[in-house]
């Protein structure tokens, strides 16, 4: 008789081994798999017919392609704790008996979706239980070393934890004894503030740009009250400032759990630490974050200008890059070469002394943000450009004045022409008008003589 132990996680497939010498099973034999307490599970007759117990028919099988090799392994699908126990695989010669102990590991978490800051209980059971078992807990496949110890309670290893969002994920219980090892897992989803995922997260924004400070609770988690505060971290003790009344950035469908705020135009004074808070049941949930504001500081010198990329907190910045941006007639942005460094110096009259300069700053995980500075014109180039613009303006104004005078002359000539046309239609009237005109001129000459 042989004895084997098999450990399987609840819900998985368990394979119970049973092997005899190929020569022994080359002759027709009866093979019987049975459970010590539940009777026959699977049976093969000499004629090849197979039978399964009524409660096992949908979950057990013994692959035919292994028979000629003397293997009669029993596969049990979707095992449960009730499947644990001692099994036997026997030949009808009464001399050969393989015994297999199947132990089922089950992990349960209560509650499976606790709120951050509350307690959760993790249970790891082994059925049938045995003494001398060691248990190791893993979170997301990494050994977990909490301050609380594992408590043994009958056939369970219990662990009570005060959880935060860090404890969300897949919990695995690894059971070991006498060289045997098995494991089972369960998922715990800790509800709370999921964006940002941790405290002291940094949000970067350029002066004049818009920014959203995220505060997103777990879906369907409805905080009874929520609010934002800006915290003055520069003093000896942090003090709460006035509650911000900024518009929500969320869509109406998500307003219940998305409490993010939106600043439409950032100023350098907006930098600092912010706290988002909300009450769920009796639990107060908070998340702190830092708004880091970036700006470009220009320093004008005699024949050049130096631009400095300045951040309120540059502790996470490892690299700065500058790029010169111009635009063609179609408004398409054209970028030049990249300069590295916190500062960039531009000479008067150079091609780079106009249009936009963008500073991008990077951290260990990539781009953190960028800020753009627009140089309209610098001194030397500005004078030449302005002089040319003045000359062009004067030319346009002069031409416009001459055109206006010509139009007035033409209009007067047209009126005189029309008047004469009307007069020539009546010859007698023309003579009278001519006589009157001569008499008027004669009187004016006599008056001048007198």
Element (H, E) at 155: none
In this prediction, residue 332 carries a pLDDT of 67
Please give the DSSP secondary-structure letter assigned to residue 415.
H
Q: Is 368 left (phi over 0), alpha (psi -120 to 50) or beta?
A: alpha
In this prediction, residue 383 carries a pLDDT of 38
Rounded Cα–Cα distance for residues 145 and 338 (Å): 47
Query: Hey, what are 287's tokens?
Result: 């998340």
Rounded Cα–Cα distance for residues 393 and 376 (Å): 20
C-alpha of 208 from chain center: 23
In this prediction, residue 252 carries a pLDDT of 52
Rounded Cα–Cα distance for residues 112 and 120 (Å): 8
Number of C-alpha atoms within 13 angstroms, CB side, residue 390? 6
Q: Is the distance from CB of 185 to CB of 9 less than 8 angstroms?
A: yes
Rounded Cα–Cα distance for residues 294 and 371 (Å): 6
User: Beta-strand (E) ranges in 244-379?
Assistant: 261-263, 272-280, 283-300, 304-311, 319-327, 333-340, 343-347, 355-363, 366-375
In this prediction, residue 382 carries a pLDDT of 39
Q: Say whether 130 sits in a helix, a strand or coil.
A: coil
Distances (CA, A) of 370 to 8, 115, 153, 294, 323: 53, 37, 57, 8, 11
In a structure prediction context, what are the per-residue pLDDT tens digits for the chain, which is 450 residues long? 789 999 999 999 999 999 887 655 566 678 899 999 989 999 988 887 888 887 887 899 988 887 778 888 999 999 999 999 999 998 877 677 889 999 999 999 999 999 998 999 999 999 998 888 888 999 999 998 775 666 766 678 888 889 988 899 999 999 999 989 999 999 999 999 989 988 899 999 999 999 999 999 988 788 877 888 888 654 333 333 334 444 444 445 556 788 888 899 999 999 999 999 988 888 899 999 999 999 999 998 888 889 999 999 999 999 999 998 877 767 666 677 888 999 998 887 665 556 789 999 999 999 999 999 987 644 443 333 333 434 455 566 677 777 877 777 777 777 666 655 554 454 544 455 556 667 777 777 777 666
Which residues make Cβ contacts (< 8 Å) with residue 186, sequence separation at least 6?
A: 107, 108, 109, 112, 170, 171
Rounded Cα–Cα distance for residues 403 and 401 (Å): 5
Element (H, E) at 384: helix 379-424
Domains of the chain: 4-104 (2.60.40.10), 106-188 (2.60.40.10), 193-292 (2.60.40.10), 293-375 (2.60.40.10)
CA angle, 265 then 270 then 273, to 5°? 135
Rounded Cα–Cα distance for residues 322 and 335 (Å): 10
């Amino acid at each position: 008789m042989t004895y084997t132990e098999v450990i399987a996680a609840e819900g998985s497939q368990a394979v119970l081994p049973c092997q005899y010498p190929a020569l022994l099973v080359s002759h027709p034999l009866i093979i019987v798999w049975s459970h010590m307490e539940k009777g026959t599970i699977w049976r093969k007759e000499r004629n090849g017919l197979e039978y399964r117990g009524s409660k096992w028919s949908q979950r057990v099988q013994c692959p035919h392609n292994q028979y000629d090799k003397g293997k009669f392994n029993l596969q049990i699908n979707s095992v449960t704790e009730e499947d644990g126990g001692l099994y036997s695989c026997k030949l009808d010669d009464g001399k050969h008996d393989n015994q297999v102990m199947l132990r089922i590991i089950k992990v349960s978490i209560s509650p499976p979706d606790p709120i951050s800051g509350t307690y959760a209980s993790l249970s790891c059971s082994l059925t049938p239980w045995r003494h001398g078992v060691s248990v190791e807990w893993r979170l997301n496949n990494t050994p977990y070393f909490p301050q609380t110890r594992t408590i043994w309670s009958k056939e369970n290893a219990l662990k009570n934890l005060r959880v935060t969002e860090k404890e969300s994920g897949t919990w695995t219980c690894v059971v070991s004894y006498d060289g045997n090892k098995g494991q089972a897992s369960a998922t715990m989803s800790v509800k709370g503030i999921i964006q940002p995922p941790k405290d002291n997260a940094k949000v970067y924004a350029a002066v004049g740009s818009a920014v959203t400070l995220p505060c997103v609770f777990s879906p369907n988690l409805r905080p009874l009250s929520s609010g934002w505060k800006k915290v003055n971290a520069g003093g000896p003790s942090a003090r709460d400032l006035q509650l911000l009344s900024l518009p929500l950035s969320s869509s109406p469908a998500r307003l219940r759990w998305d409490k993010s705020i939106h600043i439409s135009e950032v100023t350098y004074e907006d930098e600092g630490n912010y706290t988002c808070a909300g009450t769920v049941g009796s639990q107060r949930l908070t998340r702190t974050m830092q708004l880091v504001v970036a700006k470009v500081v220009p320093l004008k010198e005699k024949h050049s200008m130096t631009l400095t990329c300045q951040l309120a907190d540059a502790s996470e910045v490892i690299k700065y890059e500058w790029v010169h941006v111009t635009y063609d007639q179609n408004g398409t942005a054209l970028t030049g070469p990249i300069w590295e460094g916190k500062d960039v110096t531009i000479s008067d009259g150079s091609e780079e002394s106009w249009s936009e300069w963008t500073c991008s700053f990077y951290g260990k995980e990539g781009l953190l943000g960028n800020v753009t500075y627009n140089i309209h014109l610098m001194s030397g180039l500005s004078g030449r450009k302005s002089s040319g613009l003045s000359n062009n303006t004067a030319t346009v104004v002069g031409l416009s004045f001459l055109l206006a005078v010509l139009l007035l002359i033409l209009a007067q000539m047209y009126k005189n022409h029309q008047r004469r046309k009307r007069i020539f239609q009546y010859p007698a009237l023309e003579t009278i008008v001519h006589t009157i005109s001569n008499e008027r001129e004669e009187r004016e000459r006599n008056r001048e003589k007198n």
